[in-house]
Structure 1
């Protein structure tokens, strides 16, 4: 009998790591590596579940000390009020620094133009790149996961962006044995994805284990919605509904959160974490594939946006 086994039997404690322990350990390691290697990191925070989990991991990585870098939110102006409210409460509760890059301000200044379809998700790239340059951030944490979409599945944990914030898949670096290469030239920066190896189910199971608070729209509730392109959308100032798109009240929830114009709800009766986990485990569609219209603009929509500087 090994000494560790004897100790475990004597104390009644288990030293076997669960898959969530392993994922958490990997993410915390990545976050600490960035804090030690880069001068001005920033964490992208939208108030969505993935960025909330990423923030939880970052707070845990440095506790009891304060988190050593700020948050950045690219605000489309068409966000769900519940999500913005949760964002502001989270920032206040943890006394965090928040930078907001506003798509609406860029439109008002004539630097961006509204799209005919009303969606602003593709317009986030310019304010994001401007904020990175303005504040000289050299590492940007994102909540992307490889299971979400095929372009994200191709990206490394440390993803080098050139001086124009563009992504070149041919310049990706090997990451053997969890060794991450953060070297970059002046003007370049690195996008970092601590949740790369997580799945949507992992995220929900971790939220349940850690007791993490989320915006209420992630759970089933009655909501006025209308049907467009096979999705239930919420009416708003972005331009919906059109003629012939009747509004009805349904029991729905959101699997992912983005711009109101392109983020659809799903029919659901999952009002608590246990029900959401069961529903997620039974799903055969990724959250973005089921509810994000901006990913359906073309076969390579996400990869095209990533090449231009998108998350």
Structure 2
């Protein structure tokens, strides 16, 4: 919703969201000695890194970006991640889930999913690099548990989140005070929607991995969702493979992230498509969020982003 202040200064809705996000990013850097930003190569993290570059221009981004690599990534996303980091000259920290599995630090689930075991790898990576504040691209419109979270989300010494113990954020005043061992998760684009993200991508000309736009792919249907055939995700007996033009609304673990049938080849096409849908991108395409109504909240309490 456009505020009185936004109208007074001639700001558009996107101008207001951009200004708010940049203010939050600067605030977390000002209040914290060792911040970092999660950057997976997805659309939300691409927007976040673009905002960070704007926030500190003409200087470089003054913190590292962090990717928790499950080993189940889409190739197009990893290629984009590396290219974008090189363009901006940002330091990339990679926490490897496959390495943690090999060392016996975590154990893969029977179904092959590595989403849940990202959490201990994230916490270990943050500890190893001394990162006491991490920024992420989570938005409140994505999922019920994320709608509960504050912009500055306090985590205890175990990296855990208590939804009943959160700090007030009246008048956009953020309390970043932490004790040794504790940390802060920060969400500068909490108030954005999927549609806002795409309008901003179109306005700013932000580059994204090609799989966010319509392309032909071999897919199969599972749980009423279309999964791409790749090295990480193979059809089971009785699941027929066919060719379809699809795109991804969100990218994550390739074993659990589905595509949607689409002909949207540009940001403007995607905007038209998203404006007509009534299902969030996670609800429509993420198999890991269909485990239970409280799937995301359970993982966040354990330390998930």
| TM interval, short-chain normalised | over 0.9
Corresponding residue number in structure 1 for 2:245:
251
Corresponding residue number in structure 1 for 2:49:
55
Which is greater in Rg?
Answer: 1
Mean alpha-carbon deviation: is it higher for 20-29 or for 243-252?
Answer: 243-252
Distance apart, 1:117 and its partner CA = 1.6
Corresponding residue number in structure 2 for 1:293:
287
**Which residue of 21, 27, 31 corresponds with 1:27?**
21
Distance apart, 1:248 and its partner CA = 1.1
- Equivalent residue of 2:66, what SS? strand
Mean alpha-carbon deviation: is it higher for 111-120 or for 148-157?
Answer: 111-120
Distance apart, 1:239 and its partner CA = 4.8
Distance apart, 1:246 and its partner CA = 1.7
**Where do 1:137-152 residues align within 5 Å?**
137-152=131-146
**Where do 1:53-132 residues align within 5 Å?**
53-132=47-126
1:181 has 2:181 as partner: no
Distance apart, 1:15 and its partner CA = 5.1
TM-score (norm 2): 0.96
Gaps of 5+ in 1: 1-13
Mean alpha-carbon deviation: is it higher for 241-250 or for 84-93?
Answer: 241-250
Cα offsets for 1:199-218 (capped at 9, x unmatched) = 00000000000000000000
Is the contact made by 1:119 and 1:262 (CA closer than 8 Å) also made in structure 2?
Answer: yes
Corresponding residue number in structure 2 for 1:46:
40
Corresponding residue number in structure 2 for 1:215:
209
Corresponding residue number in structure 2 for 1:5:
none
Say if 1:15 and 1:172 are closer, same or farther in 2 by CA, change over 3 A: closer
Mean alpha-carbon deviation: is it higher for 107-116 or for 238-247?
Answer: 238-247
Is the contact made by 2:53 and 2:60 (CA closer than 8 Å) also made in structure 1?
Answer: yes
**Which residue of 204, 212, 215 corresponds with 2:198?**
204
**Which residue of 147, 153, 159 corresponds with 1:165?**
159
Distance apart, 1:173 and its partner CA = 0.5
Distance apart, 1:28 and its partner CA = 0.3
Q: Could you list the runs of 4 or more consecutive aligned residues of structure 1 that deviate by over 4 angstroms after TM superposition?
A: none
Q: How far apart are the structure 2 equivalents of 1:135 and 1:93?
A: 23
Distance apart, 1:304 and its partner CA = 0.1
Q: How far apart are the structure 2 equivalents of 1:131 and 1:306?
A: 17
TM-score (norm 1): 0.94
1:278 has 2:268 as partner: no
Cα offsets for 1:212-258 (capped at 9, x unmatched) = 00000000000011111111112233352111112111000000000
